[in-house]
Amino acid sequence: MGEGAGVLAAVLSSGIGGASVGVTRFIAGSLDPLAIGAFRFGIGFVLLLPIALAGRRAWPGRDDWLGVAMLGLLFFGGFPVLFNAALTYTTAVRGALALSTLPLLTMVVAAVFKVEPLTRRKSLGVFIAMSGVGLALLTGFAAAPADAWRGDGLMVLAALCMAVYSVASRSFIRR
């Protein structure tokens, strides 16, 4: 895959991810958060299972099953339920901004698990980015729905699930 294809894949991935926040917010009031997650990830499961079964790649060893299962529950159970529940309380914009705490949370989780050191340069970069997120959230604070803080908090917890998954899954993916 050339550089152009990689950039295109990144742009498409970001676009689809960003659109999912708006679409989920649109349907969040009429469907249960668990149902939305089951539908969203169920389609992916049905589409990808035949490809995974036909593939020639090795499956995780027995010793890894519990860890892989726990990570699966975290990312495909905890994350979507928290993500969908968050959008029943807050706006799509606020939810997306709260989700953008993911780099900070990943950096902190990686440092806590001693996977990657927390450097000044990384910390400064994330602090500057997060300051922008904070300012953006504060500017519309008065106009936010009454329970927006609940949705914002749930979205940060969803991002934390993703951060823990990203850091903890590295060792399994390398094998």
| pLDDT digit string, tens, across residues 61-93 | 889 999 999 999 999 999 999 999 999 998 888
Q: What is the pLDDT of residue 18?
A: 72
Q: H-type helices in 29-112, by residue range?
A: 33-54, 65-73, 79-89, 92-99, 102-112
* 7: pLDDT strictly greater than 90: no
Instruction: Give the span between the Cα atoms of 78 and 99, in whole angstroms.
Output: 14
Ramachandran bin of 106, using left for φ above 0, alpha for ψ from -120 to 50, beta for the remaining angles: alpha
* 25: pLDDT strictly greater than 90: no
- For residue 19, which phi and psi values (nearest 5 degrees)? -65, -30
Q: What is the pLDDT of residue 167?
A: 96
* 140: pLDDT strictly greater than 70: no
Q: What is the pLDDT of residue 110?
A: 95
Provide the whole-model pTM: 0.78
